[in-house]
Amino acid sequence: MRGAPVVALSAETGRGLDRLMPAVFKTHADWSTKVKTRDLNDWLHMAIQRHPPPAVNGRRIKPKYMAQTKARPPTFVLFATRAEQLPESYRRYLINSLRESFELPGVPLRVTIRSSRNPFTEGEAAPARAAAPRPRTSGQPETAGKPKPKPKAGKAAKPKGGAPRGRAQKLARPGVKPKRASRPSTRRTPRS
């Protein structure tokens, strides 16, 4: 692994053992590193300015943003246009620059490149909303598409009411006084 710390030690004399465990702890801390999304995006902007991605078939690849999805090992996702056309050499450049900028020597970094879905391309048309079934909430029977039952002739319809809501609910609580609807006017009358 590039940049992995090398600690020379001797099993016979015990020389160098005092440097082994600090190196192990530092590597473990680097392996568990979490980088803030804002810092990643600032770094991405700087890396793109320093070395812009190549144009493939005359069209530019535009990296949009980057986020860390996992630690141990640090895993990052880069969202870009035409991600499948990004050359492997540019991906290696991003990984090496990440390793250098965030001081992650000797740690395997995973970078996944994804493209955001374009709603205007033909192959990726979004399904119509009406076609998708709505999720049911637990405890409620499915009544979609069924007519409501009509009340029978002999029974009166149940009045809608129940517990008061909003301001009426607040005023129904004991000890709550209603506020006045308007404040008294403090305007001065014009002098004649």
CATH assignment at residue 78? 3.30.300.20
Residues 121-150 have a mean pLDDT of 54
Band (pLDDT 50/70/90 cuts) for residue 155 is low
pLDDT tens column, 4-24: 888 898 888 888 888 888 988
Flag whether 191 is in a domain. no
Flag whether 168 is in a domain. no
Domain range spanning residue 17?
A: 1-117
Of 159 and 28, more confident: 28
Flag whether 148 is in a domain. no
Task: Give all strands of the β-sheet with 63-70 in edge-to-edge order.
Answer: 63-70, 75-80, 110-114
Band (pLDDT 50/70/90 cuts) for residue 83 is confident
Counting the structural domains of the chain, the total is 1
Flag whether 16 is in a domain. yes
Over the range 5-38, which residues count as b (16 or more CB within 10 Å of their CB) and which as e?
A: eeeeeeeeeeeeeeeeeeeeeebeebeebebeee
pLDDT tens column, 55-71: 888 888 899 999 999 98
pTM beyond 0.75, yes or no: no
Is it the case that residue 134 has pLDDT exceeding 60?
A: no
Is it the case that residue 36 has pLDDT exceeding 90?
A: yes
Band (pLDDT 50/70/90 cuts) for residue 129 is very low
Output the pLDDT for position 189.
Answer: 60
Flag whether 161 is in a domain. no
Residue among 98, 101, 94 at smallest CA distance from 80: 94
Flag whether 101 is in a domain. yes
Query: Would strands 63-70 and 55-56 be described as parallel, antiparallel, or unpaired?
Result: unpaired
Output the pLDDT for position 52.
Answer: 92
Count Cα atoms within 13 angstroms, Cβ side, for 86. 22
Q: CA 143, 148, 164: angle at the middle one, nearest 5?
A: 90
pLDDT tens column, 95-107: 999 999 998 888 8
Sole residue written with tokens 């069209």: 59
Is it the case that residue 108 has pLDDT exceeding 80?
A: yes
Band (pLDDT 50/70/90 cuts) for residue 148 is low
Flag whether 175 is in a domain. no
Flag whether 35 is in a domain. yes
Is it the case that residue 138 has pLDDT exceeding 60?
A: no
Q: Which residues contact 23 (CB under 8 A, 6 or more apart)?
A: 5, 7
Percent over 90 (pLDDT), the chain: 28
